[in-house]
Chains A and B, each alone.
Chain A
Amino acid sequence: MSTILVTHRDDLASKTGMWLFLFTEMLLFGGLFIVYSVYRYRNPIAFHQAAQELSVFIGTINTIILLISSTTIAMSITALQKKNKKLALLLLGTTIILGLAFLVNKYFEWGEHFKEHIYPGSAVLALRGHGDVLFYGLYFFMTGLHALHIIVGLVFIIVIAVSIIRNNINSDSYVLLENSGLYWHLVDLIWIFLFPLFYLIT
């Protein structure tokens, strides 16, 4: 006769696991910040001038979009804790829409650059000089990797929202919602640093 494995739910373990995962993401982007630091140091003027070609307006809007989306997902946890399932889902839905809005903005931003033949490996970019190549290389790589993480985050949130609809995540068991919030906040944090480093160093 075998013993029955009683699985005790350990929310703290789940949360700890998520935080540890966030640390890996910080180090992943951290590697790119290392590259940024070095090349900014070596090409201060080129970075300074190339940054002026980015739209501070769109960048600011995008920053605020992400800040609001962080607020809404944080509030959705409060809503669920207060057993307000409808509000929680509404807030999550808002978060998703804001995330999509961010991506749409990015799409248009990048589109503008592509129209001018500015993209990694382009001849036009190469002609502009080393500093520009590195600035835009970092710009596309870092904002691209960031956008990928937004997409992953959105998928994660959608999955959580479905779980909430099915009552698998509820006011007694909501660590997965918290974890999706943590992930989303990290995505916001990365952007909080990307924004000044690319848009505001003029």
Chain B
Amino acid sequence: MENEKNHIIPYKTFLYVLAGLIALTLTSVTLTQISLGTMTVVIALVIAAIKSSFVLSIFMHLKFENKMFSRAVIGVITLLCAVIIITLLDYLNR
């Protein structure tokens, strides 16, 4: 497991990712100013998810770690979504 320790991410990579994240942020701000009905929330959340995947894979190093970590992260997020959906099963049908 020594390999991960020596993997160094170049500064430039981080700066490119930052540029992308800021661009995505500004995009979501702009898009949500337009009235798109229920799609507004969906778009905002999709962009948030894309931003998150960059933070997780590059900043948090998941791309370069043992696959076990990414799988666990996906598992936890899936679990949370499942609980939210099941809870809404109650509220949507009352």
- Nearest B residue (CB) for A16: B69
Contacting pair B32 A200 (CB below 8 A): yes
* Contact residues in A for B61 (Cβ distance below 8 Å): 178
Docked-complex contact B25 and A64, CB < 8 angstroms? yes
Q: Which residues of A contact B69 (CB under 8 A)?
A: 16, 19
Output the nearest chain B residue to A42 by Cβ-Cβ distance.
Answer: B91
A78 in contact with B10 (CB, 8 Å): yes
In contact, A74 and B44 (Cβ under 8 angstroms): no
Closest-by-CB residue of A relative to B86 is: A34
Grouping DSSP codes into helix (H, G, I), strand (E, B) and loop, the A interface class, with mixed when no group exceeds half, is helix
CB-based contact B18/A67 at 8 Å: yes
Question: Which of B6, B29, B52 is in CB contact (< 8 Å) with A56?
Answer: B29
Instruction: Tell me whether A189 and B83 are in contact (CB under 8 A).
Output: no
> How many Cβ-Cβ contacts under 8 Å join chain A to chain B?
113
Q: Tell me how many residues of A have a C-beta within 8 Å of chain B.
A: 42
Contact with B along A159-202 (1 / 0, CB 8 A): 00000000000000000001001100100110011011100111
CB <8 Å contact, A11 and B5: yes
Chain A residues within 8 Å of B87, by CB: 34, 37-38
Partner of A30, one of B21, B58, B83: B83
Q: Is the CB of B84 within 8 A of A196?
A: no
- B76 and A78 contacting across the interface, CB-CB below 8 Å: no
Tell me whether A74 and B1 are in contact (CB under 8 A).
no
- Contact mask A64-78 → B, CB, 8 Å, 1/0? 100110110011011
Q: A60-B26, A78-B11, A192-B51 are in contact. List 8 more A-B contacts (CB 8 A).
A: A34-B83, A38-B87, A41-B88, A193-B45, A193-B52, A197-B44, A200-B29, A200-B32
